[in-house]
Amino acid sequence: MTESNRIDYKRELTDKLENEAVAFLTEQVTPQVTPQVEALLAVMHGDLSRSEIQELKLTDKKNFKENYLKPALEQVLIVMTIPDKPNSSLQKYRLTTKGKSLKDTIRNDQMPL
């Protein structure tokens, strides 16, 4: 292999690695979320109780905790205001920085050009 071929080969490998790294990091920064979690993020503002969130058009009461709250909590998109007492009647939820960022990204992606 000539020196010129080696340089071309290294450049090609570097470009492939860079593209793979960017794809991997983008995937890590933008988590895959369900439509239910997107809907939850869309209505979140300030500290809201479960019932207050559901009143904002998220009326799937039977599966609300399983399909909306649990996935958002697991992805650290929202947090409990009283984490030591998850079943407290005073429990509220708020967006994390990650959740706010994702909410803004979703909103910007849905804006018409």
DSSP letters along 2-27, please?
-HHHHHHHHHHHHHHHHHHHHHHHHH
Query: Which of the residue ranges 46-50, 52-56, 100-104 would you say has the lowest mean pLDDT?
Result: 52-56
User: Per-residue b/e over 33-52, b at no fewer than 16 CB within 10 Å?
Assistant: beebbebbbeebeeebebee
Tokens 């992805």 — which residue? 75
Tell me what pLDDT residue 26 has: 53
Instruction: Quote the tokens at residue 82.
Output: 């009283």
pTM for the model stands at 0.66
Q: pLDDT tens, 28-49?
A: 555 678 888 888 998 999 999 9
